[in-house]
């Protein structure tokens, strides 16, 4: 079993829909990262969380340390949000990120 599990693997939505991507992990962590990888391959760091909730524009990330679970929400989704969203965790104190396999999001106009 992977230490970081994401769901769903693939997600198709209509423009304007509210999107939720989930990440569960089975190890103690010091931080969790949400990354976005566009079809061209470039990776952008969206959030780094160690507790609570962060918001940036239409994106919201939450983490529940006790339940070992994080969610990434996209409000009012747009076709330009189409990308692979990757969850990654630092295993307690380690600098070695462990990555989920990603969630491929397609937002149709």
Partner 1 sequence: GAGVSQSPSNKVTEKGKDVELRCDPISGHTALYWYRQSLGQGLEFLIYFQGNSAPDKSGLPSDRFSAERTGGSVSTLTIQRTQQEDSAVYLCASSPWGTSEKLFFGSGTQLSVL
Shortest approach of partner 1 to residue 59 CB, angstroms? 14
The C-alpha atoms of residue 93 and residue 77 are separated, in whole angstroms, by 35
Shortest approach of partner 1 to residue 70 CB, angstroms? 15
Shortest approach of partner 1 to residue 76 CB, angstroms? 24
**Interacting residue ranges for partner 1, rule: CB under 8 A:** 30-31, 33, 35, 41-45, 47-48, 50, 86, 88, 90, 95-102
User: Is the Cβ of residue 19 or residue 29 nearer to partner 1 in the bound state?
Assistant: 29
SS3 state at 20: strand
User: Is the Cβ of residue 21 or residue 88 nearer to partner 1 in the bound state?
Assistant: 88
* Token pair of 17 as six digits: 């829909």
Shortest approach of partner 1 to residue 41 CB, angstroms? 6
SS3 state at 98: strand
User: Is the Cβ of residue 19 or residue 87 nearer to partner 1 in the bound state?
Assistant: 87
The C-alpha atoms of residue 21 and residue 103 are separated, in whole angstroms, by 7
Strand order in the sheet with 4-7: 4-7, 19-25, 69-74, 59-64, 52-56
């Amino acid at each position: 079993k992977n230490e970081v599990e994401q769901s769903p693997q693939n997600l198709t939505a209509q423009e304007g829909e509210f999107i939720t991507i989930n990440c569960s992990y089975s190890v103690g962590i010091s931080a969790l990262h949400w990354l976005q990888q566009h079809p061209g391959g470039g990776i952008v760091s969206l959030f780094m969380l160690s507790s609570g909730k962060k918001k940036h524009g239409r994106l919201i990330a939450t983490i529940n340390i006790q339940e070992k679970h994080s969610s990434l929400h996209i409000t009012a989704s747009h076709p330009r949000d189409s990308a692979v969203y990757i969850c990654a965790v630092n295993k307690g104190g380690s600098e070695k990120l462990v990555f989920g396999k990603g969630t491929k999001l397609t937002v149709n106009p």
